[in-house]
């Protein structure tokens, strides 16, 4: 007994001694790239003591000096670290080579990547962080197979087009965005630095849970949140310049005068060539209008965030400012955005948590004509003759200090008939520099976006969770355009406006304000449970969405005072040209939805979804739509017969099918509309009570293959989707009366394609790299239209069964007529043809010797057949590098600017390509003669349809992090990263327009994307 007591006493003393000698260990956990890992788990090996890192990746724990810490974090390899008596430990985790434990947020719920059965792509956020762009959509470019991102123009603040698996309908093809559980049609207001994760739901099985608004795909965005731990402060700032690149070479003064002389000689005129005489003039300028119009643009961005929290409450607060002054002179193409965001999550009990995400965004855009549309600033910089100077001489009697710019060519007075100006020789295009100076079009928007939510866990293990989520999307817009009068007096205008310049005559103000709000309330029950080898996840929910929009606007003309103090409606004239108006609209959507996923032994998986939507945009008998889907998965790599194939770490087959909808139509398309004529109301449009949903049916087959612990990972998908009941406007017979077209369900469009995504990574050595490559094909075809609407015709396009949407339609060039005998022989069915040697020769498709409408055919496809992206990233010690290549193939664009600069028969300036124009038999078979008569270029033809395929080096970023050095200091600074970033470095393309990437397939002179060089610093406290 005495021995036992002695033994117990010794054990007690040893235990007490060991407890008294425990030490406090503090440290920081980061990725091998130096990024702090918030929420990483630290557990003492063979013990229950645990802790986790705070938002800055730091932790503290009291342990024995010889303890071993087991450190783990989702998506990274687990690591065991001996304490060995140290009180400060820095730990860098390697990314997990498999990544299959990664949790993917799908919107209403989430799943592990290993159990996904649909076509779902997650964006590599490390690649995204290296894109220093203002819009989240721009950062997505080249990141995901089958997702094509295109900026409408290069002007600051311009819209971004996103297409998932091609153009599926004649109407709205934009995807649905889910931001922290709240649906939206826009993500441009988000700061890219606020994004935690982005998931793209591409097939019907993944997107069907969103039903009637998911036919164009769904992009799920999760913003950053606070983590438990000490407050972490992050500051990111960059500043840079932009320069225009790849401008066409235009004729200088001497080349222009020679070309005009040649055109006059080829036009059959008699008398003395006026251009020959004008060559000796001393008042001819030699203006490079592109050089005069474009300047160095500038941009800057500042992002500051603070996050942290305790076990009970976590928070994050962030603010950002972005500004860009574009590449056109006079600073009327600026864009600014202010963002403020906060989120708070409070764990009130071990079952109940509440939280909120709230964001405010204020955008200001100075809108500039950027697409060649009126007033066409970019277009006029290319066509205005170089012989005209930018500014008038101050000694000129027509010079005005407030308007010093030239306008009409060689202007003297307002009587053109008596030599007032020389438009008969030098086409009076507009002065692009003056257009830029007098542009005053301001677009402002204020957005409030966010949600409040509560979540409660039921059952013993909280396996059943109820979540209620209330979201708001409030937008307030204010657009104000003052059109100031300027330019030369051409003698026009009414009696009141005589003597004023021809531009914006009379002056005027257009102003409108609008507000729109969308309230979303969804409630879900989510049950997740594992029973041995069986895993079940089930979701049921409801959602109610209501939207209301209204606007009011007014305009007046003839403002006596034009400075900004008086640019308000009340200061305009009140006698004529007075307008005001306003309108409002609303819609609602109620939904029931459910989803269930079953997995057996991590080998066999099945998911079913069903959503039922009721929309106010359809008549009562068609308000409800039902959108089911099913998907299956088989992880072959988990089968016993694969256990000896060690080099294959993952092999999964996936298949899915489902139905999606599209409710993005006008709010009252099914109703009959009336208008008042005199004292009577007459029908202006007949309604269609049978109007129903556009429906997209989609099938997908995919395979995922991981090799060598998933250091090599390949995903391949084949998809087929068909959209039916597409809404088309059908005109009624004239006997019905003068009415607008009625909307009916009639069209059908199909898309088929293959998507391939390949990831290569290696983190085993000092130099670590990650390569993400993706490529996707898509074939678009119109399957059906209405019998009364066999085709939909545009200026240069035609949508017709058997061809892609909006295909180019026109004549086919067959060379240049070399002599009169060739013309007579070729146009044998045309009496006295007007064509001359040197004119364009078009194919006579029906061989009747006549070139007319019957010889038109399909000449191009504006829908890309292939898109691709390549991300290369690497790091060595403190250095890191990121490179992005992006491009498309098999896409055509109608280059209307080429039509004006190379083929137009007016005395505009031309590109130097016209120096190779036909000037005698055998001299050219591609560029027609220069003339002031029609040489065939007035026809829509394949001459102007160009291959707009391109490969562009979009981004190159190099950085250096000082984190390892700062560890040895007591400055409180955790890391400083300096970086330099270059954008749009080079483009390989055969397209002769300003930018092959712009969304407009009819290119009239697009504001080009600029080459940028940025310098930045990121500081973490």
Find the farthest-apart pair of alpha carbons in the chain and give their distance in angstroms, rounded: 137
CB of 436 closer than 8 Å to CB of 329:
yes
Is pLDDT of 450 > 90?
yes
Give the mean model confidence (pLDDT) for residues 577-597: 93
pLDDT at 964: 80
Give the pLDDT band of residue 599 (cuts 50, 70, 90): very high
Residue 728 bridge partners (DSSP):
744
The answer to the question of residue 815 being in a domain is no
The answer to the question of residue 556 being in a domain is no
Q: CA angle, corner 751, sides to 747 and 753, nearest 5?
A: 175
The answer to the question of residue 839 being in a domain is no
Tell how many helices (H) and how many strands (E) occur in the chain.
12, 50
Half-sphere exposure of 809 (CA within 13 A, CB side): 17
**Of 228, 248, 263, which residue is a domain's last?**
228
Structure tokens belonging to residue 800: 């017709």
pLDDT at 379: 93
Same domain assignment for residues 111 and 152: yes
Sequence length of the chain is 1021
Q: CA angle, corner 286, sides to 284 and 287, nearest 5?
A: 120
pLDDT at 1011: 94
Same domain assignment for residues 27 and 55: yes
3-state secondary structure 948-988: CCEEEEEEEEEEEECHHHHCCCCCCCCEEEEEEEEEEEEEE
CB of 695 closer than 8 Å to CB of 621:
no
pLDDT at 33: 54
Torsion of CA 127, 130, 135, 137, to 10 degrees: -20
Summarised one tens digit per residue, pLDDT across range 885-913 is: 999 999 999 999 999 999 999 999 999 99
Find the CATH number of the domain harbouring 121.
2.170.130.10
SS3 215: coil
Is pLDDT of 13 > 50?
no
Torsion of CA 274, 280, 284, 289, to 10 degrees: 80
Distance CA 758, CA 249 (A): 40
Q: CA angle, corner 142, sides to 137 and 144, nearest 5?
A: 85
Same domain assignment for residues 128 and 75: no
Same domain assignment for residues 111 and 198: yes
| Residue in the structure block whose two tokens are 């295009």 | 429
Summarised one tens digit per residue, pLDDT across range 922-932 is: 999 999 999 99
Structure tokens belonging to residue 93: 């985790």
Summarised one tens digit per residue, pLDDT across range 268-279 is: 999 999 999 999
Same domain assignment for residues 103 and 224: yes
Same domain assignment for residues 66 and 116: no
Distance CA 600, CA 602 (A): 5
Half-sphere exposure of 281 (CA within 13 A, CB side): 16
Give the mean model confidence (pLDDT) for residues 373-387: 91
**How many percent of the chain have pLDDT more than 70?**
96
Q: Strand 857-860's sheet: what is its strand order? A: 791-793, 797-800, 807-810, 857-860
Structure tokens belonging to residue 853: 């409408």
Is pLDDT of 4 > 80?
no
Q: Which helix (H) or strand (E) holds 830?
A: none
- CA 165 to the chain's CA centroid: 14
CB of 526 closer than 8 Å to CB of 467:
yes
Half-sphere exposure of 144 (CA within 13 A, CB side): 28
Lowest mean pLDDT of 54-63, 400-409, 635-644, name the range: 54-63
Summarised one tens digit per residue, pLDDT across range 304-318 is: 999 998 889 999 999
Same domain assignment for residues 67 and 119: no
Q: Which helix (H) or strand (E) holds 512?
A: strand 508-531
Give the pLDDT band of residue 10 (cuts 50, 70, 90): very low
Same domain assignment for residues 84 and 127: no
Is pLDDT of 999 > 80?
no
Distance CA 113, CA 197 (A): 14
Distance CA 192, CA 400 (A): 46
| Residue in the structure block whose two tokens are 């277009």 | 379
Torsion of CA 169, 992, 886, 776, to 10 degrees: 40
Number of domains in the chain: 2
Give the pLDDT band of residue 380 (cuts 50, 70, 90): very high
Q: How far is CA 488 from CA 145, 416, 915, in A?
A: 53, 12, 32
SS3 416: helix
Same domain assignment for residues 103 and 68: no
DSSP string, 259-317: HHHHHHHTTT--S--HHHHHTT-SS-----HHHHHB--EEEEEEEEEEEEE-SSEEEEE
| Residue in the structure block whose two tokens are 């320069």 | 243
Is pLDDT of 453 > 90?
yes
pLDDT at 95: 59
| Of 872, 884, 875, the residue nearest 960 (C-alpha) | 875
Find the CATH number of the domain harbouring 68.
2.60.40.1120
- Helix then strand then coil, % of the chain, to nearest 5: 15, 45, 40
Structure tokens belonging to residue 1009: 């994307």
Is pLDDT of 237 > 90?
yes
The answer to the question of residue 32 being in a domain is yes
The answer to the question of residue 161 being in a domain is yes
Q: How many CB atoms lie within 10 A of CB 294?
A: 22
DSSP state of 175: P
Is pLDDT of 522 > 70?
yes
The answer to the question of residue 43 being in a domain is yes
Is pLDDT of 772 > 70?
yes
Distance CA 461, CA 474 (A): 38
Report the predicted TM-score, pTM, of the whole model to 2 decimal places.
0.86
| Of 19, 21, 63, 58, the residue nearest 43 (C-alpha) | 63
pLDDT at 16: 41
| Of 305, 304, 311, the residue nearest 345 (C-alpha) | 311
Distance CA 201, CA 105 (A): 10
Structure tokens belonging to residue 576: 């004529």
Give the mean model confidence (pLDDT) for residues 84-102: 72
| Of 448, 433, 599, the residue nearest 529 (C-alpha) | 599
Give the mean model confidence (pLDDT) for residues 1008-1018: 93
| Of 790, 645, 662, the residue nearest 706 (C-alpha) | 645
Is pLDDT of 258 > 80?
yes
The answer to the question of residue 937 being in a domain is no
**Of 206, 228, 250, which residue is a domain's last?**
228
Is pLDDT of 55 > 70?
no
Q: What are phi and psi of 546, to 5 degrees?
A: -130, 140
Is pLDDT of 256 > 60?
yes
Give the mean model confidence (pLDDT) for residues 55-60: 79
Distance CA 480, CA 612 (A): 42
Q: CA angle, corner 781, sides to 775 and 784, nearest 5?
A: 155
What would you report as the CA-atom Rg of the chain, rounded to the nearest whole angstrom?
Answer: 33
**Of 228, 253, 286, which residue is a domain's last?**
228
DSSP string, 572-639: S-SSSS-EEEEEEEEEEEEEEEEEEEEEETTTEEEEEEEEEEEETTS-GGG-EEEEEEEEEEEEGGGS
Distance CA 156, CA 134 (A): 9
Question: Which has the higher per-residue pLDDT, 670 or 373?
Answer: 670
Give the mean model confidence (pLDDT) for residues 1005-1013: 91
Same domain assignment for residues 106 and 120: yes
Distance CA 503, CA 493 (A): 10
Same domain assignment for residues 87 and 204: no
Question: Which has the higher per-residue pLDDT, 390 or 1004?
Answer: 390
| Of 510, 496, 624, 649, the residue nearest 560 (C-alpha) | 496
Distance CA 95, CA 93 (A): 6
pLDDT at 461: 83
Distance CA 738, CA 732 (A): 9
Same domain assignment for residues 208 and 108: yes
Distance CA 322, CA 801 (A): 46
Summarised one tens digit per residue, pLDDT across range 732-744 is: 887 777 888 888 9
Q: What are phi and psi of 159, to 5 degrees?
A: -65, 155
Question: Which has the higher per-residue pLDDT, 451 or 998?
Answer: 451
CB of 164 closer than 8 Å to CB of 175:
yes
Give the mean model confidence (pLDDT) for residues 598-626: 92
Give the mean model confidence (pLDDT) for residues 254-267: 96
Q: Which domain holds residue 85?
A: 23-93
Give the mean model confidence (pLDDT) for residues 384-394: 96
Is pLDDT of 830 > 60?
yes
Cβ neighbours for 96, distance < 8 A, ≥ 6 positions apart: 75, 76, 77, 102
Summarised one tens digit per residue, pLDDT across range 845-869 is: 999 999 999 999 999 999 999 999 9
CB of 293 closer than 8 Å to CB of 328:
yes
Q: Which helix (H) or strand (E) holds 2?
A: helix 2-20
The answer to the question of residue 81 being in a domain is yes
Distance CA 662, CA 726 (A): 9
């Amino acid at each position: 007994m005495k021995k036992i007591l002695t033994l117990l006493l010794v054990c007690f003393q040893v235990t007490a001694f060991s407890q008294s000698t425990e030490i406090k260990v503090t440290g920081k956990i980061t990725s091998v790239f130096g990024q702090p890992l918030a929420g990483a788990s630290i557990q003492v090996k063979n013990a229950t003591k645990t802790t986790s890192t705070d938002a800055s990746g730091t932790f503290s724990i009291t342990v024995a000096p010889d303890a071993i810490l087991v450190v783990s974090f989702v998506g990274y390899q687990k690591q065991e670290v001996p304490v060995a008596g140290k009180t400060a430990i820095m730990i860098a985790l390697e990314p997990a080579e498999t990544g299959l434990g990664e949790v993917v947020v799908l919107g209403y719920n989430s799943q592990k990547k290993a159990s996904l059965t649909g076509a779902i792509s997650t964006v590599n956020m490390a690649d995204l962080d290296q894109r220093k762009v203002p819009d989240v959509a721009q950062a997505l470019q080249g990141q995901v197979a089958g997702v094509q991102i295109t900026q409408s123009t290069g002007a600051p603040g311009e819209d971004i087009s996103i297409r998932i698996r091609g153009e599926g309908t004649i109407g709205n093809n934009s995807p649905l965005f889910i931001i922290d559980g709240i649906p939206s049609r826009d993500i441009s207001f988000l700061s890219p630095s606020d994004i935690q994760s982005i998931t793209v739901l591409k097939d019907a099985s993944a997107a069907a849970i969103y039903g009637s608004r998911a036919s164009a795909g769904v992009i799920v965005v999760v913003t950053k949140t606070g983590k438990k731990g000490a407050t972490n402060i992050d500051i990111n700032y960059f500043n840079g310049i932009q320069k225009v690149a790849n401008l066409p070479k235009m004729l200088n003064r001497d080349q222009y005068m020679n070309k005009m002389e040649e055109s006059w000689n080829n036009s059959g005129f008699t008398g003395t060539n006026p251009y020959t005489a004008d060559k000796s003039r001393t008042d001819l300028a030699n203006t490079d209008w592109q050089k005069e119009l474009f300047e160095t643009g500038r941009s800057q961005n500042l992002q500051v965030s603070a996050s942290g929290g305790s076990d009970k409450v976590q928070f994050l607060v962030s603010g950002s400012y972005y500004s860009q002054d574009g590449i056109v002179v006079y600073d009327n193409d600026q864009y600014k955005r202010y963002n403020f965001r906060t989120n708070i999550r409070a764990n009130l009990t071990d079952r109940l948590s509440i939280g909120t995400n709230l964001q405010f965004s204020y955008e200001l855009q100075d809108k500039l004509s950027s697409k060649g549309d009126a007033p066409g600033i970019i277009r006029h910089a290319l066509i205005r003759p170089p012989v005209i100077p930018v500014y008038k001489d101050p000694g000129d009697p027509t010079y005005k200090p407030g308007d010093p710019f030239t306008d009409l060519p060689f202007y003297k007075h307002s009587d053109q008939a008596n030599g007032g100006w020389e438009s008969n020789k030098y086409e009076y295009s507009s002065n692009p520099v003056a257009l830029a100076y007098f542009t005053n079009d301001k677009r402002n928007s204020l957005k409030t976006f966010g949600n409040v939510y509560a979540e409660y866990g039921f059952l013993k293990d909280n396996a059943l969770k109820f979540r209620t989520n209330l979201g708001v999307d409030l937008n307030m817009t204010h657009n104000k355009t003052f059109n100031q009068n300027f330019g030369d007096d051409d003698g026009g205008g009414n009696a009141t406006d005589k003597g004023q310049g021809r531009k914006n005559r009379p002056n005027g103000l257009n102003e409108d304000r609008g507000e729109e709000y969308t309230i979303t309330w969804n409630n879900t029950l989510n049950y997740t449970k594992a029973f041995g080898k069986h895993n079940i996840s089930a979701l049921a929910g409801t959602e109610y969405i209501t939207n209301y929009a209204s606007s009011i606007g007014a305009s007046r003309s003839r403002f006596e005072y034009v400075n900004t103090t008086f640019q308000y409606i009340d200061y305009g004239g009140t006698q004529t040209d007075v307008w005001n108006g306003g309108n409002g609209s609303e819609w609602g959507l109620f939904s029931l939805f459910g989803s269930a996923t079953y997995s057996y032994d991590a080998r066999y998986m099945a998911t079913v979804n069903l959503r039922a939507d009721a929309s106010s945009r359809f008549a009562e008998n068609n308000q409800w739509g039902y959108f089911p889907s099913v998907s299956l998965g088989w992880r072959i790599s988990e089968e016993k017969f694969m256990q000896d194939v060690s080099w294959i770490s993952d092999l999964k087959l996936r298949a899915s099918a489902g139905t999606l909808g599209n409710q993005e139509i006008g709010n009252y398309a099914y109703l009959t509309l009336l208008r008042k004529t005199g004292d009577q109301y007459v029908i202006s449009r007949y309604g269609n009570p049978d109007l129903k949903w556009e429906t997209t049916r989609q099938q997908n087959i995919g395979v995922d293959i991981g090799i060598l612990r998933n250091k090599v990972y390949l995903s391949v998908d084949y998809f087929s989707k068909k959209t039916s009941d597409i809404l088309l406007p059908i005109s009624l017979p004239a006997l019905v009366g003068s009415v607008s077209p009625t909307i009916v369900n009639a069209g059908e469009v199909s898309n088929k394609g293959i998507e391939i995504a390949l990831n290569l990574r290696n983190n085993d050595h000092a130099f670590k790299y990650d390569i993400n490559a993706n490529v996707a094909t898509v074939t678009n075809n119109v399957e059906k239209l209405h019998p009364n609407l066999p085709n939909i015709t545009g200026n240069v396009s035609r949508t017709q069964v058997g061809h892609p949407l909006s295909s180019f339609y026109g004549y086919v060039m067959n060379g240049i007529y070399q002599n009169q005998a060739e013309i007579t022989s070729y146009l044998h069915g045309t009496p006295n043809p007007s064509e001359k040697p040197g004119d364009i020769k078009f194919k006579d498709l029906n061989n009747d010797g006549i070139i007319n409408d019957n010889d038109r055919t399909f000449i191009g496809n504006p829908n890309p057949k292939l898109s691709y992206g390549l991300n290369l990233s690497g790091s060595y010690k403190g250095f890191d590098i990121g490179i992005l290549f992006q491009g498309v193939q098999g896409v055509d664009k109608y280059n209307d600017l080429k039509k004006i600069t190379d083929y137009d028969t007016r005395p505009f300036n031309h590109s130097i390509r016209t120096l190779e124009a036909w000037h005698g038999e055998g001299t050219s078979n591609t560029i027609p003669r220069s003339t002031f008569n029609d040489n065939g270029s007035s026809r829509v033809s394949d001459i102007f349809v160009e291959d707009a395929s391109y490969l562009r080096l979009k981004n190159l970023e190099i950085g250096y992090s000082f984190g390892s050095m700062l560890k040895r200091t007591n400055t409180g600074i955790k890391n400083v990263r300096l970086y330099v970033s270059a954008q749009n470095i080079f483009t390989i393309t055969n397209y002769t327009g300003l930018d092959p990437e712009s969304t407009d397939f009819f290119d009239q002179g697009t504001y080009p994307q600029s080459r940028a060089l940025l310098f930045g610093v990121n500081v973490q406290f």
